[in-house]
Amino acid sequence: MKTKTLSKSLYFVFLFLFLSFKSLPQNNSNQFSILFYNVENLFDLDDDPQTEDDEFTPEGDRHWTYKRLNNKLLNLSKVILSSSGWTPPEIIALCEIENSAVLERLIKNTPLKAYPYKIIHKESPDHRGTDVAFLYNDKYFYPLEYQHHPLLSKSGLVVKTREILYVKGIFNEQDTLHFFINHWPSRYSGLLETKPLRIEAAQLLKQKVNELKSKYSSPKIIVLGDFNDQPSDESIKNHLGAVNVSDQIEPTGLYNLSADWPGTGLGTLKYQLQWFVFDQIIVSGSLLKQGSGLFVKIENASILKQSFLFEKDEKYGGLKPKRTYIGFKYNGGFSDHLPVLFKLEKEN
């Protein structure tokens, strides 16, 4: 009972703060925000016998409880609601969520309930049961279709990892946008051992992008995700073909708005001394050209750096993301990744 009282008090603090935002203008009518966030193990409390989620139960190794889940949801709502100034993002892409139930709790049992978010999600074949998801404010985005693309082995079997989510829709009653949400195979079993899987994911995504190019004239494509590779790695640069933004922009090319982030001294996650940029924003050249509806400027893509997302790194120096667990020790934070965000603009 004490746990629920604490959670409710936190809820009402956030609700008061962000309902006050709600009374302000919803946006400046010329910019719209899109957020991607690896939320690090957003699991429910139940043991799914089909997946390896046992540690995220009250009896599991992490002692995952109602209180901890509720605190995690409130923390995530704080990140989302503070991510783009006075107005929360119109589009939110997430990864490392277990199921629709936790997404429903996120948008209905936290201060996010003040906004009309809807969910696109499906259970993936991932062995841990984690998925990607797409949340949208239905005042600004109308989905037309969506598909989930599983990663297949060379023998044609489904690989037990996250699918690539494709969503097509009309944004702000103005432009048709094509989204691909990714969470590519991790490096957990070793960099070289897992590299072929990420190359296969890149090739699958490239195939789906090429299909759009053959179907539409200069489609406006947005690729978001945790790629478990950096912008200069072979999977991203060579196989997907996402390159640095240059003066010569081809409408059907793919351009990585995150390409220069590794040289800034900050990444989206930290391992020991080193920052990595695994979470990236990639767009088609058609979105980098003004004069044809919605567009994006490279300077409007960034890693979010709110102070509450960090804690002191006692072992390696500097700061690190304040995550939910450090090993199996509960830390009460947000995620081991930092969110990334960019703003779409429309012609005046």
pLDDT in tens, 265-298: 999 999 999 999 999 999 999 999 988 799 999 9
Q: Which pairing describes strands 269-271 and 325-326: parallel, antiparallel, or unpaired?
A: unpaired
More confident residue, 15 or 344: 344
The string of pLDDT tens digits covering residues 152-196 is: 988 889 999 999 999 999 999 989 999 999 999 999 888 999 999
Token duo for residue 244: 């640095």
Cβ contacts of 205 within 8 Å, gap of 6 or more: 164, 180, 182, 223, 240
Check pLDDT > 80 for residue 29. Answer: no
Average pLDDT rounded to a whole number, residues 131-146: 98
More confident residue, 24 or 56: 56
Percent of residues, the chain, with pLDDT higher than 90: 85
Average pLDDT rounded to a whole number, residues 331-337: 98
According to CATH, the superfamily of the domain at 2-15+28-345 is Endonuclease/exonuclease/phosphatase (3.60.10.10)
Check pLDDT > 70 for residue 23. Answer: no
33 alpha-carbon distance from chain centroid: 13
Per domain, the residue ranges of the chain are 2-15+28-345
Given a contact cutoff of 8 angstroms between Cβ atoms, the answer to whether 219 and 171 are in contact is: no
Beta partners for residue 225, in sequence order: 182, 280
- The predicted pLDDT at position 291 comes to 80
Per-residue confidence band for 66, with pLDDT thresholds at 50, 70 and 90: very high
- The predicted pLDDT at position 3 comes to 38
